[in-house]
Amino acid sequence: MSEQAGAVIAQIVVVLFLSPLITGFSRTLKARLQTRRGPGLLQPYRDLHKLLQKGMVIPDTASWIFTATPYILFAATLLAALLIPTISAQAPLSLFGGVLAVVYLLALGRFFLALGGLDTGSSFGGLGSSREMTISAIAEPALMLAVFTVAIGAGSTNLSAVAQAGLGESWRFLAPSQMLAFAALFIVLIAETGRIPVDNPATHLELTMIHEAMILEYSGPYLALIEWSAAMKQLVLMTLLVNVFFPFGLSAGWWQLDTLLSLLLFSGKLLLLAAAVVLVETSNAKLRIFRVPELLAVAFVLSAMALISTFLF
């Protein structure tokens, strides 16, 4: 029991402290690719530290929904992260919810974030909420179908079981169904984390913004919680990709020597994936919002092909 509690705390620590690093790495790498110097790897930590100390302004039109949203979003995202295997193949809480729970916990956070955007009464908030809910809705079938393909292959929706099934056959990711599902999930990752070509995380006060428009009125510690949750959500989705498709190196338990090695390997895999996302970001222009469904339709077709190829090959 105490070992289980230790695993929960260890995973919380990993998720909380690794997630801003991925964001920092993405930003720095993107800056370098654009021949800028960039703010440095640790800037997100400094931002969070600063924001948590600042005062905040609550809009006078807002209700308790606005105040409750950061807490609910933070809790739902962190809980989703506890259901996914990160360093150890055995995620600490994976028995209490599989991949469906992960997807729906992220949806719960998004539901409240969108309400928080509407609660301010500002048109920007409503604009962001509307677009966020639209894009996440049309990304959902591709996400679910790809997830189904993986779950069918492993015979379980439990993510620890999926990762362990992958550990058993190390060359499994070369199967066409796995590769197609990975490609579909990669597109979904870009849409769900709001990266170019779907949304631009660096934009403020542009009419094209989505995520930033929703959280425009948040400030201080609440903004810190939301930014942190966004980083954790990115980590959750990336972990889903790297550990479901490339689980090699995951340690079997938590308190062994190879856990440290596993942490290094996990961080390495995440950074590689983040680099891939940054490459897509820098080599593409932002799409018009009404072109985004076409991109997500491609993801859906890819995951449908992945599904069909599970019994062709």
Q: Among 174, 160, 18, which Cα is nearest to 102's?
A: 160
What three-state secondary structure class fits 29? helix
Whether the CB-CB separation of 165 and 154 falls below 8 Å is answered with: yes
> How many binding residues for other proteins (CB under 8 A)?
86
CB nearer to other proteins: give 27 or 131: 131
The least CB distance from residue 281 to other proteins, in Å, is 22
The least CB distance from residue 166 to other proteins, in Å, is 16
Bridge partners of residue 88, in order along the sequence: 251
At 196, list the tokens: 């170019």
Q: Among 204, 208, 193, 211, which Cα is nearest to 276's?
A: 193
Query: Which of these segments, 39-47, 140-148, 192-200, 259-267, binds other proteins (CB under 8 A)?
Result: 140-148
* Amino acid identity at 142: A
Binding to other proteins, residues 270-289 (CB under 8 A): 289
CB nearer to other proteins: give 97 or 249: 97
Q: For residue 104, what is the enclosing H or E element?
A: helix 99-119
Residue 134 in the binding site for other proteins (CB under 8 A): yes
Binding to other proteins, residues 23-62 (CB under 8 A): 52-62
Angle at 118 between CA 116 and CA 120, to 5 degrees: 80
Query: Which of these segments, 21-29, 175-183, 217-225, 236-244, binds other proteins (CB under 8 A)?
Result: 217-225
Q: Among 206, 187, 185, 215, which Cα is nearest to 109's?
A: 215
Residue 214 in the binding site for other proteins (CB under 8 A): no
The least CB distance from residue 145 to other proteins, in Å, is 4
CB nearer to other proteins: give 33 or 308: 308
Angle at 114 between CA 278 and CA 232, to 5 degrees: 40
Whether the CB-CB separation of 89 and 154 falls below 8 Å is answered with: no
* Amino acid identity at 176: P
CB nearer to other proteins: give 232 or 263: 232
Binding track over 148-187 against other proteins, x by CB under 8 A? xx-xx--xxxx--x--------------------------
| Residue from 20, 44, 70, 166 binding other proteins (CB under 8 A) | 70
Binding to other proteins, residues 78-117 (CB under 8 A): 78-79, 82, 93, 95-98, 100-101, 103-105, 107-108, 110-111, 114-115
Distance CA 84, CA 104 (A): 13
| Residue from 38, 179, 221, 301 binding other proteins (CB under 8 A) | 221
Distance CA 77, CA 233 (A): 6
